Copies of this chain bind each other. A is one copy, B any other.
Amino acid sequence: MSNHVPNTTVQRLPVYLRCLVQEQSLRVPVANSVRIAEMAGTNAAQVRKDLSYLGEYGIRGIGYDVDGLVRHLTRWLGLEHVRKAAIVGYGRLGSALLGYGGFQDRGFSLAAVFDTDPEKIGTAAGSGLVVEPLADFAAAVERDALEIVVLTVPASVAQAVTDTVVAAGIKAILNFAPTKLLVPADVAVRQADVAAELQILSFHLSSGGE
């Protein structure tokens, strides 16, 4: 057991979990590192090293017990209980994410939606949710035990909205706005900039595909 898992490893854990859950649904009882690697798109040594940071969960000569490893990964990722997330910014992307049914399966529930536009506040947002004013955010964090904010507001207001949700005690933000957020050191931010991803692809197109 170790107390430091490298960042690169952390980013692969959700992939491993997804692959193992798939094996589980196929009733495969055991998976070895070669199998996990080919499903996850990496190599066997990487899989073994990554998993060894978490503990000794494999069986020599056999592989990894799928159910057991799913349980361990779920625990390491903090997904034993469903985490509540809030959509902040009820635009097209916010409503698309709300409508996407794939989060429940993977440990998350979108439990509230916020906006500042008076036109939007009070409207029904699917899943029985109603768009609430951002001014009520802090109260809602208490009420719904919100832990994660999915930020789908325009870049121009992203920092101000971030300051509001951080003041309300939020420690994890998935930011779809194309802007760097300044947050205290104990707040985790992941950037999800779709246009930047396209630009990276464009680079690869330009450099002859190698």
A69-107 CB contacts (< 8 Å) to partner B: 76-79, 83, 85, 92-93, 95-97, 99-100, 102-103, 105-107
A190, B195: Cβ atoms closer than 8 Å = no
How far, in Å, is A20 (CB) from chain B's closest CB?
A: 13
Taking a contact as CB atoms under 8 Å apart, the answer to whether A95 and B96 are in contact is yes
**Do B97 and A198 touch across chains, with their CB atoms under 8 A apart?**
no
* Cβ B203 vs Cβ A174 within 8 A: no
Given contact pairs A186-B209, A202-B107, A97 touches B174 in the complex (Cβ within 8 A): no
Contact with B along A167-204 (1 / 0, CB 8 A): 00001111000111000001110101111111111111
Q: Is the CB of A102 within 8 A of B200?
A: no
Instruction: Pick the residue among B85, B171, B205 that contacts A171 (CB under 8 A).
Output: B205
**Cβ of A100: which chain B residues have Cβ within 8 Å of it?**
92-93, 194
One of A11-19, A59-67, A116-124, A134-142 at the interface: A11-19
Report how far A206 CA is from B99 CA in the complex, Å: 27
Indicate whether A78 sits within 8 Å of B203 (C-beta atoms), given known contacts A96-B95, A209-B171.
Answer: yes
Could you tell me which A residues sit within 8 Å of B by CB distance?
Answer: 10-11, 13-15, 17-18, 39-41, 76-79, 83, 85, 92-93, 95-97, 99-100, 102-103, 105-108, 147-148, 150, 171-174, 178-180, 186-188, 190, 192-207, 209-210
